[in-house]
A and B are shown apart, each in its own frame.
Chain A
Amino acid sequence: MSDLKENICKETTFQLLFKKNAALLRNYLYYKYGNATDVDDVVQEAFIKLWDNCHKTTPKTAKSYVFKIAINLSTSILRHNTVKLKHQKEVKYLNNHSTPESPEFILEEKEFRVKLENAISSLTDRQREVFLLNRIEKKTYREIAELSGVSVKAIEKLMSKALFKLRDQIKNMP
């Protein structure tokens, strides 16, 4: 079968693989550990290792292979740092009642975001990783389970725990 001969050693194949998966891998690690520069290094290292081992994998299995490499590298290299997230720049729009948002509303929105970001930092690495992959990257539980190598049930539990924690933290903030 031609599949057996197909590997990712060709630069064009490898480049495609990188373009498809690097950003997700990098964000995955970032949500878990924070510290963008170290995370970028791990992503680089993981892809280089992938390329070095290009005979051991096919285009189909390359994604989970490079994720595995990266997760292994991160447990020894990365330590948790603050995860700084930005709010997407929202286009100013008029709300449903066609009246512009009041300054009080805008301020309250800003304050809520700060509370939310602080609460997100207080999640465990795994809770945060799952929660943000679902909310920001729009990944399903099944997709997240595949990426991190655990069961869908485990992801469901982490997601629930994360949401409970966020709710409780925000309720307790002044």
Chain B
Amino acid sequence: MNNENNILVTKWLNNTLTEAELKQFKTTEDYDLLVRIMDSSAKLQAPEYDVAFAYQKIIAQKNKPKSKKWWQYSVAASVVLLIGFFAYANLFSNTTYTSDFGEQLVFNLPDGSKVTLNSKSSISFNEQDWDTNRTLKLKGEAFFDVQKGKTFTVQTQQGNVSVLGTEFIVKATPRFFKVACYEGKVKVEDFIANTTQFLTPTKAYQHIEKEIVAYHFKEVTPQWLNNTTAFKSVPLKYVFKSLEKQYNISIESNNYDTSMLFTGSFPNNNKNVALQTVLKSANLQYKIQENRVILQD
């Protein structure tokens, strides 16, 4: 019964109702609500956008002297002047690394600390300042192998993590904040829960939506460095997000229990096995169409 009405609604939206169908549609109980939704939403507005101001910012950026141009045209300029200018131009700019779907990026920070970025993540930091201030911004997930030295801080939207010299991972995506310590000692500040914890090796802290869990694990390095993505008591929708980021697919459906908890893992180099593992354990049928995975109700 519901399905019949939904078909009428779709036709109404597409303007393909016959006269008779339209008459019938107007008598359905949801008609007034639907009209109201359509009318009311038409009166909404996005926040104001100052086009002229935004344009000025682009012009300003465009006019900033680029060190490249100076290298190209320098002939008589002294080497000292050039190096001084180059350093100046970099003083306020950040170095950024961004990984793609299914990609892990490994790179060194200026002090020799090593970072491994998981898929679809990004890190930015100021190279010039690194000696005095080891602070970087993270979106997504990364494994850090930090050289001993001044306090090393990872800033994310969900919280800050600081250490003196150690190995740990941080996963910071909206509503999913997780830190696991593999070596040394890690201080975790959770902005949303407004708490601070200290983690020692084999301890992890996980804050997903409103659930906070502190747990022990036994792996010596993160599983995703070994081509496996593992979860402990994580709602299915985040497992799906990880699958999407790893394999550049989109998982579509309306009818699964997104809050169902998943504990287990999937391989990072075999899409079919990965999908089978996760979806079978959740008792979901699916079919694959190119890069779309469509769950069947």
Hey, which bits of chain A sit against chain B, CB under 8 A?
15, 18-19, 22-23, 26-27, 30-31, 36, 40, 43-44, 47-48, 51, 75-77, 79-81, 84-88, 90, 112-113, 116-117, 120, 131-132, 135-136, 138, 156, 159-161, 163-164, 166-167, 170-171
Contacts and interface: CB of A to CB of B under 8 A. Distances in A.
Majority SS of interface residues in chain B?
A: helix
A160 to B, nearest CB: 5
B144 to A, nearest CB: 20
Contacts of B174: 79-81
Given A43-B54, A156-B14, A163-B34, 5 more contacts: A44-B57, A86-B44, A112-B40, A135-B42, A136-B42
Give me the 9 closest cross-chain CB pairs, A-B, nearest first: A85-B44, A135-B41, A160-B10, A27-B46, A135-B42, A79-B174, A86-B45, A36-B47, A30-B46
Nearest to A50: B58
Interface residues of B, number: 36
B13 A167 contact: no
Contacts of B45: 85-88, 136
Nearest to B33: A167
A44 to B, nearest CB: 6
B51 A90 contact: no
11 contacts: A22-B54, A27-B49, A43-B54, A76-B98, A90-B43, A136-B41, A136-B42, A160-B10, A161-B254, A163-B13, A171-B33
Nearest to B57: A44
A116 B41 CA distance: 8
A22 B48 CA distance: 12
A127 to B, nearest CB: 10
Contacts of A22: 49, 51, 54-55
Given A30-B47, A90-B43, A48 B62 contact: yes
A52 to B, nearest CB: 9
B44 A112 contact: no
Contact of A132 (B13, B41, B57, B98): B41
A121 B223 CA distance: 34
A32 B98 CA distance: 21
B138 to A, nearest CB: 12
A135 B120 contact: no
Given A44-B54, A164-B6, A87 B43 contact: yes
B49 A40 contact: yes
A168 to B, nearest CB: 10
Interface in B116-168: 120, 122, 139, 157
Most chain A beta carbons < 10 A, residue from B44, B62, B98, B173: B44
Contact of B61 (A30, A48, A120): A48
Contacts of B55: 15, 18-19, 22
Contacts of B41: 116, 120, 131-132, 135-136, 166
Nearest to B173: A79
Nearest to A40: B54
A40 B130 CA distance: 28
A43 B120 CA distance: 20
Contacts of B54: 18, 22, 26, 40, 43-44
